[in-house]
Amino acid sequence: MKVAVACDHGAYEYKEKVIEILKSLEHEVEDFGCYDKQSVDYPDMVYPAAKSVADGKNDCGIVLCGTGIGASITANKVKGIRCSLVSDLFTAKVTREHNDSNVLALGQRVLGESIMEEIVRTWLATPFSEDQRHKNRIEKIKSIEEKEE
């Protein structure tokens, strides 16, 4: 799988750890930055990463900032993105099973490193359920996007 990864300065350390996890699982990584702890604005990195997922250049994405909130809001502005801000294992699993989320948002300042790692592994390993009720709901989300263009 090819995974887009992006962060701001508030999550640089976790982005680097996410990349290590992805590579250990033999996923290909496209790193959209940032590349150090210098202050930057998360939309500058998160938008291109999310866009690459929406355009099919990457299979999914993981975006990070201090809380994950700004990264998730930015990613969800991109048509076709279903980004979920996750802080627990149940949500990591359900957002894939029910919502077929294609971008995961995480906050370095609100998650311990071990739970962050477990969330990433769980999210990546959980497939979409393919239940018709969930497909119907995703189609409704898509129709909302079309109305908002």
- Catalytic site positions: 65, 98
Going from the C-alpha of 15 to that of each of 11, 51, 94, the distances in angstroms are: 6, 18, 23
Cα–Cα distance, 13 to 59 (Å, whole number) = 23
Sign of CA dihedral 138, 143, 146, 148: negative
12-24 vs 113-125: helix axis angle to the nearest 10?
40
* Token reading at 134: 């969930």
Taking alpha carbons only, the member of 70, 65, 78 closest to residue 15 is 65
